[in-house]
Amino acid sequence: MLLVGACSKKTVSFNGKPDQNLLGVVRRDSLATARDTTNGPSLDTRKVALTKEQERAAKEKQKVAQRTPKKKKNVFLGERIKKSFTKSGPKGRNQVIETFHYLRTFQQPNDFAPSRYYFEPKKRKVFKTTEELNPANDKVLHGPYKKTQGGKVVETGFFAMGTRHLRWEKFNKNNILLSKNHYEMGFPRDAAVSYYANDKKRLKEVIPYADGKIEGDYVSFLENGKREWEGQFENGKKIGEWTRFWGFRNTKDRRHYVYQYGESGYEPEVSEPVLLKEYNRNGVLVYEKDKYDKRDVVTDRPGARN
């Protein structure tokens, strides 16, 4: 059960008749006889004159070839990209290598995307977030992606403008396919998407589905377009961290509560999630589990100082 409030040539025609006199010249200049053309190739190496129609066709073919753009390298979905990689873990069979591409020119991902992926060169790491990216430091993932462990492929897919796109597959170390999902700019292809007032503009909720089960990133929005809930499902169960936002209209998405569910969807679902963090309306952390609790301090008034 979701939390309350959660979330598509020009054909060239030549009609002119060939010059009969010119055709006659061609026949007289050729050394080929009927026997030659039937039993073997002609030995005539002289240049055979073309008809006007053939000349026009050849010129048109050349023009078409010149107009046809050559396939550009390092371009994905019309955007110029650059290739990079990261390494993590100890060297050897357990080392993880991620090979990916990112936009050469920064573009902010869609505000409604459930998750946004980027590469931070200084930290040499790929990150996942729901917040706006920093044009100065963050490289928006865009293009093919491959993850290997110990030299064996464990995950492949594509990114588009910082979101998962097209087919994504996961494998175990024995190259056995574990999962396959399809995405459209961050949204699972089979997701149940709902809108406010059915106008297809104000997104309300995205419930991800795979093989008939709720699987993947979940997100819901308030009517003002701001995020309300976000989290992840696995095997039909809520897992990991789930975040509820304040939903203020004229500010960036500010977190309110962060809850913790189970680590795996193949274990019994946690009925009562654990509150990990709480933030006041100014975005100040006032509670963190097992560390401190400042919820009794009045700091949630607009413009209040701490």
For the chain, the structural domain boundaries read: 71-188, 190-306
The answer to whether 255 touches 243, Cβ cutoff 8 Å, is yes
Please give the structure tokens belonging to residue 33.
């006889």
Element (H, E) at 197: none
Is residue 39 classed as helix, strand or coil in its secondary structure?
helix
Residue 177's φ and ψ, nearest 5 degrees, are: -65, 125
What pLDDT, on the 0 to 100 scale, is given for residue 13?
42
Taking the CA atoms of 191, 197, 201 and 202 in sequence, report the sign of the dihedral they define: negative
pLDDT at 226 over 80: yes
What pLDDT, on the 0 to 100 scale, is given for residue 54?
77
What pLDDT, on the 0 to 100 scale, is given for residue 248?
92
Residue type, 179: S
What pLDDT, on the 0 to 100 scale, is given for residue 58?
80
Per-residue model confidence as pLDDT tens digits over 179-192: 888 999 988 888 99
pLDDT at 306 over 60: no
Query: Smallest Cα–Cα separation from 188: which of 113, 131, 257, 126?
Result: 113
Please give the structure tokens belonging to residue 25.
């010249």
What pLDDT, on the 0 to 100 scale, is given for residue 216?
87
The answer to whether 86 touches 124, Cβ cutoff 8 Å, is yes
d(CA 258, CA 245): 9
Compute the average pLDDT of residues 282-305: 77
Per-residue model confidence as pLDDT tens digits over 262-287: 999 889 888 899 999 999 999 999 99
Please give the structure tokens belonging to residue 53.
């129609």
What pLDDT, on the 0 to 100 scale, is given for residue 253?
86
pTM of the full structure: 0.63
Determine the longest span between alpha carbons in the chain, in angstroms: 107
Per-residue model confidence as pLDDT tens digits over 88-97: 988 877 899 9
To the nearest whole number, what is the mean pLDDT of the chain?
Answer: 81
Is residue 304 classed as helix, strand or coil in its secondary structure?
coil
d(CA 4, CA 242): 13
Per-residue model confidence as pLDDT tens digits over 32-43: 444 444 444 444
Confidence of residue 70 (pLDDT cuts 50, 70, 90): low
d(CA 306, CA 285): 11
Per-residue model confidence as pLDDT tens digits over 228-255: 999 999 999 999 999 999 999 888 889 9
Query: Smallest Cα–Cα separation from 185: which of 221, 153, 158?
Result: 158
The answer to whether 74 touches 82, Cβ cutoff 8 Å, is yes
Compute the average pLDDT of residues 132-150: 95
pLDDT at 9 over 50: no
d(CA 208, CA 230): 12
